[in-house]
Amino acid sequence: MSNDHLKLLASKMDEESLKRLTAIENERLHEFIADAVELCQPETVWVSTDSATDTAHTRKMALERREEMPLAIEGHTVHFDGMNDQGRDREVTKYLVPNGDSLSKALNQIGRDEGLAEVRGLLEGSMRGREMIVRFMTLGPNNSDFSIPCVECTDSFYVSHSLNLLYRTGYEEFKRLGSQAQFFTTLHSCGKMDERMVSSEPDKKRIYIDYSTDTVYSVNTQYAGNTVGLKKLALRLTIRKADREGWLAEHMFLMGVNGPDGRKTYLAGAFPSACGKTSTAMLPGESILGDDIAYFRAVKGRCVAANAESGIFGIIQNVNANDDPVIWDVLNKPGEVVFSNVLINEGRPYWLGMGVETPDEGENFSGSWYKGKKDADGAEIPPAHKNARYAVSLKALENCDPELDNPEGVELAGIMYGGRDAKAYVPCQESFSWEHGIIAYGASLETETTFATIGKEGVPEINLMSIQDFVAISLGKYVQNNLDFGEKLNKPPTIFGVNYFLRDSEGNFVNGVRDKHVWVKWMELRVNGDVDAVETPTGLIPRYDDLVRLFSEVLDKEYSVEDYERQFSIRISENLAKIERVQDFYRKSVTDAPGRLFDELASQRDRLEQARAKYGDYVSPMVLDDSVEAR
């Protein structure tokens, strides 16, 4: 460590913290922390290690500083983010783009020099009178090809607590790697806080990603999606790293699906927020390996995957005992859980859609709450926020997959892309090839904006691979990287498109909430060659007789021909309109879209038009299945 860095840090740290930091021989690390201290001007600096004592200290300080409050169940706490900091904020989350560089027009960005001056100006002196916490974590399993060391400096013990629950500690990994460590850095400050320990200047909120130095800056915010640098903020940096090194960083869950004779098959899935991602990953009777971010590598012709994280920061709305029994169990028994932005009454948390009667008063993100309370604009404040969350370690779940920390990852057999499409795509279909799946299901993934992102809800939009907000390279290059990755594999994972939000002509959903378990079980059988499928213009769909058996086995439910036709009839006009929207998006917003994308979409359009000429605008799946006699 240089003398200048040592002198500055020694003035802010006690002997133990300084000893911990100097045990890591990495000059870039020391420079980053010294710069953070000089810029933010904390009163003291505490360096945390991987020890149980330090983990407990973070929990204790989050309560003492009143960033969290204890709840009635042992180990449960609640954190509030205030009225104006309830989700990822697209408008103030920007890439810092150096002179001469460029990103796709669809990505929010600002010139690097201008952006650095702005965000560092907001961070200047932001930690006066406070303690800076230095955390060492890793993305991916430790001591693995998947591992990415990360360091975060923050003035929030709530953020530090969230890191403990969501990621693997990495102090020993930094010590092991020393000067060889290539790491990501995050600098976060809550900024000014009110009496409830909530960031009080949301108009000065900024979340800037400097991809030229692998650094995230976050200020005047506490919402974990904006402050826990290893989450979606680091995903943007990881995508650039994966682009350089030839692997994939994806916004996907990983799950183990149990098949016949004790078989376990690993599947991944990409869903935008509030589109069924966590509920799919948490299906009862299956195992969860991850619910949010996955890394894929090609190893000897196989696709192997690992969870970047080791915990869940999940949307809690609609979690209930019937539909989400595993999560419900964790949220209602002693253990370490951090709730955010729910309603608290007599030490118990309440959220929207939990299936129990909600009290008429309590404390929530608005402060003291009562039924009928209104905000400054006259709108009624709900008891809990739509984007209220829970944070919990995966290992607290009874169905946590034992391969979570396997440094070699697991072999991936299938990938599903799921959006929020009311009109076109059937609930479940298999692609004709890797290329068709990446383009027709992944790059064409269409959804509606939800409460998980600040802004207007219900607006249809393309959200390619459910990762569009986080792509820090050109979108065309990202699609091309996915296409190229399949060519490295002897047998690429089978790609599926799923859609839990298809509606009938009267506006009713054609899927039941629990039907997703049947679709996942069908996928498991398909990737192992156990069942056949019906060919349609948009993909391969389940045969009726297989669904009759699966609905009976999985849900103890009868499944009729009418159910099948409601769910799996091909809507020609709606699918043609979807192709036009996708093509229009790529022509206008992605100047480097691969030619193969337009070719694949054109082939799908031709198949749809041929089907319309033969069958009309709505094609029953029964007429496409040669094995089915007329019913």
Annotated catalytic residues are 275
Three state DSSP letters for 599-618: HHHHHHHHHHHHHHHHHCCE
Burial of 630 (0-12, 13-18, 19+ CB in 10 A): exposed
Measured CA to CA, the distance from residue 139 to residue 149 in angstroms comes to: 6
The CB density around residue 222, as the number of other CB atoms within 10 Å, is 25
Q: Distance between CA 173 and CA 37 in Å, rounded?
A: 23
Q: Which residues sit opposite 495 in a β-bridge?
A: 415
Element (H, E) at 209: strand 206-210
Specify the residue for token string 């690390």: 29
3-state helix, strand, coil in the chain (%, to 5): 35, 25, 40
CA dist., res. 190 & res. 130, Å (int): 11
Query: Can you tell me the distance from the alpha carbon of 131 to that of 467, in angstroms, rounded to the nearest whole number?
Result: 35
Strand partners, 147: none
Among 175, 188, 88, CA closest to 138: 175
Residues 6+ apart with CB under 8 A from 263: 528
CB atoms within 10 A of CB 345: 17
| The dihedral formed by the CA atoms of 525, 526, 531 and 537, expressed in degrees to the nearest 10 | 150
**CB of 119 within 8 A of CB of 219?**
yes
Amino acid in position 560: S
Tokens 């378990």 locate to: 517
C-alpha to C-alpha distance for 605 and 49, rounded to whole angstroms: 56
For 507, the 3-state DSSP assignment is coil
Handedness of CA 36, 37, 41, 42 (dihedral sign): positive
Joined tokens for residue 260: 């016949």
Contact assessment for residue 89 and residue 226, using Cβ atoms and an 8 Å cutoff = yes
C-alpha 96/C-alpha 105 separation (Å) is 14
| Residue 154 near residue 133, CB atoms below 8 Å | yes
Rg (CA), the chain: 25
According to DSSP, the β-strands at 93-97 and 76-79 are unpaired
Contacts of 188 (CB under 8 A, 6+ apart): 152, 153, 154, 155, 156, 159, 216, 217, 218, 219, 227, 229
How deeply is 2 buried, as exposed, middle or buried, from its count of CB atoms within 10 A (0-12, 13-18, 19+)?
exposed
Among 379, 340, 100, 65, residue whose Cα is nearest residue 226 = 340
